[in-house]
Amino acid sequence: MRTEALAVLLLAVALGRALSLAVLTAFSVGRTGRAAPAVIPLGYATVVPGRVALRVRAGATVATARE
């Protein structure tokens, strides 16, 4: 059973990556004329600080939570 589950997982990951690569490459060619996606380094550099700023603090309570 574990071997079957692993095989299904690997197949799903492989198919998902292949399909997304095909779609994103076609979109990139249509949008920018190149197959490689155009990523602005400054825009990418904001991901980590944004994630840190939006994380949930330990012990924080949600405003709508009932106690």
What pLDDT, in 10s, does the model give residues 13-30? 999 988 988 898 898 898
For CA atoms 39, 40, 43, 47, the dihedral sign is: positive
pLDDT at residue 61 greater than cutoff 90: no
| Cα–Cα distance for residue pair 25/17, rounded to 1 Å | 12
pLDDT at residue 66 greater than cutoff 70: no
pLDDT at residue 46 greater than cutoff 90: no
CB atoms within 10 A of CB 5: 9
* SS3 of residue 48 by DSSP: helix
Name the band, by pLDDT with cuts 50, 70 and 90, for residue 63: low
What pLDDT was estimated at residue 58?
60
36 Cβ partners below 8 Å, 6+ apart? 28
